[in-house]
Amino acid sequence: MSGADPTVVGLARSLERTLRRVGELEELVRRLATDVATLARANPPAGAPVGEAGDGGRHPGGWLGVADHEVSAAGIADLIEWVEGVYLRFPDAELPSCWLWHPAVVEELWWLRGAHGAAFDDSAGSWQRIGDWHDRFRPGVVKRLRAAVGDCELALHRAGTDLHDGPIAPLADAASEIARSWTTSRALPDPTEPQLNDAEQYDRAQHRRSHR
């Protein structure tokens, strides 16, 4: 720029620096906006109803851990709508009439719905997440539900059945003695005859359930 006015040269350089700084600030603002949106999805406002929170509009908790009745009821209603609109649209997906009586089944579908929402979310989703949902997540849930439910039916959930009464940890009454023995001598007590009998009955019942 030989012969150029030094004042003009100085202004041009100053303008170049200013434009470069403006570009850097715009990029910083874009990053901050992305971070804020990510934090908002991961930490929805307290009391936000199901379907308006993060993770693709799904409640971030699991079914088995929900304690609030309103959240639970809204979540189940939302889940049923999703099951009918998405899950059951696939030819290999099926549910027994007693599916709502199986907490593990509800939990699996609850999670699958959340993964579906996250995969298809406008801001956080991606084609890779969608592919994972189709290739791994959905087929995995279908397989596990078939193994967990088998040919179960609603009649098997009546009072007095194992399915109605819920799971019970086997030989739980031995826990206190085991804790005492372990903390005092770092050894475990020999099982008693009644405990061996209870264990045998429990194992037989488990075998019948797994081959039903």
For residue 48, tell me if it sits in a domain.
no
**Is the whole-model pTM more than 0.85?**
no
Q: How many folded domains does the chain comprise? A: 3
pLDDT tens string for the chain (212 positions)? 556 677 777 777 787 888 788 777 777 777 776 666 555 555 544 444 344 334 444 445 677 887 788 888 888 888 999 999 999 999 998 888 888 888 888 899 999 999 999 999 888 788 988 999 999 999 999 999 988 887 777 777 777 655 555 556 677 777 778 787 788 888 778 888 888 888 887 777 666 665 55
For residue 132, tell me if it sits in a domain.
yes
Q: Do residues 111 and 87 touch, judged by C-beta distance below 8 A?
A: no
Token readout for 118 is 């996250």
For residue 192, tell me if it sits in a domain.
yes
Q: Which domain holds residue 29?
A: 1-43
Distance CA 170, CA 49 (A): 38
Q: Note whether 172 and 149 are same-domain residues.
A: no
